[in-house]
Structure 1
Amino acid sequence: MANIELMKLYKKNKSKEIKDQLIIENIELVKIIAGRLYHSYNSNVEYDDIVSYGILGLIDAIDKFDPDKNVKFETYANFRIRGAIIDNLRNLDWVPRSTRQKYKKFEEAMSKLQGEYGFDIDDEILAKELGLSIEELNSFLSEVSIFSIISLDEKIAENSNFSIVSDDFDARPESNYIKNEDKEILKETIEKLPEREKKIIQLYYFSELTYKEISKILNVSESRVSQLHTKCIVKLKNSLKKIYT
């Protein structure tokens, strides 16, 4: 039975059996989202814990979803699952203070360089700004990548309930919609990224590939994909600051 029909039955009688069936039928979606986030956070948290947080989001989605609205349950559940995982990770405060401080330094450096060079900031320029060698920069980027994904997700969630994963903005089942002009700013920012960084954004957020899969397509290491992704995230976040500040 399709999710929408099950949802209508569940909303009608609140049957525990139907709710359990909905959880079982959508657990694979939780595992997919959990797997992608697990790799994004450099395995600093247990995969099973992330799945558990995702299941809480799925249950919340089942309870709050309105099947009479023109929204796919999978779209709504994706948003709730991802949000629950991020909220729980944020509450754990698992990112070391030193990493947060380094990320802040990195963010400030990138913001300055964006003002001078635009979006095409190579490693040599960034390393010089941070006072690091290329080898030290690679190590630095690998460390701050732990914090970069959750930092962007927090920025987006706090301000607009908008997810970069889906372009289905009009169907987003939340009370606060991102304005059309804001959406255009984000799209324009992605278009300004260097081709390889733009490709990473497309493959990671829209095609929903893992770092390993992207590394094979781009013929670079997984660590290099992570480093480039980290730079992309800060550029996008700096653009979002122009919207929300």
Structure 2
Amino acid sequence: MTTSTATRPTATATSTAAEREELVRAHLPLVGHLVREMLGRLPSHVSREDLVSAGMAALAGAARSFDPGRGIPFGSFATTRIRGALLDELRGLDWASRSVRTRARRVESTQQELTASLGRTPTQPELAAALGVGVDELKTIDDDVQRAVVLSLQGFTAGTAEDLVPERAAGPADLILHRERIGYLHHAVAALPDRLRKVVTAYFFDERPMNDIAEELGVTESRISQLRAEALVLLRDGLNNHLDPELLAAPGGKGCVARRREAYYEQIAAQGGLNARLAITNPLGMPRG
């Protein structure tokens, strides 16, 4: 259990495609069980088919990334992934329409392309021009996306998705996975470039307004918004690189941007192994005081 993710063999190195397919087949009833468990407390407008689709995708992803070397049974590992996918599906229903999510993905994709071609983060006018929209419309999309990110980072309050999920005592394997993810998030934030780390810490954890952060750093609010978006993309890719490699976008060449990303991934790993990640929380998964 002390081997770090960076050096641990991948699922593809320890299992064949046939074995992964068998894992999925054997655990198909698990998806139906978890969906039925959740549907009992959901509003009638929530689509069972959408939840089943999200759960099946999570089961397949769990089979691809499962590492028997962790000593965690696949059923427990897959349950955690499936429950997370179902909650993500409910969050999507909570915060935005399908059209808003589609526009958000288009903005993110365009921003990554411009960053690769320019060798820097594009300005708001540059991004708006590439998308063929006005700066005001781009800001509206960004506001919707940031609301979703805040929900994702801070969790839901009463009356939202998590309250609809039947309570279940987490087993030891669930708690270890949960604590490992929290540890990776802390290490990913700590490994961010200095200015990006300051923006993330001030905005999401200290809940300071953007104009206050902008004044402290001597830049405009628009620049803080750009830095925040850049940091969130790095955090997402950094966590996926270590926890869900199959979710990483295809590598974008060998330029300076790609090298910086690889260096960032290495810096996350250098923060410490599994013991260091688990040390951030107590055995119940709560932050250590």
- TM-score relative to the length of structure 1: 0.40
> Between Structure 1 and Structure 2, which shows a larger proportion of helix residues?
1
* More contact order relative to length (CA 8 Å, sep ≥ 6): 2
- TM-score relative to the length of structure 2: 0.35
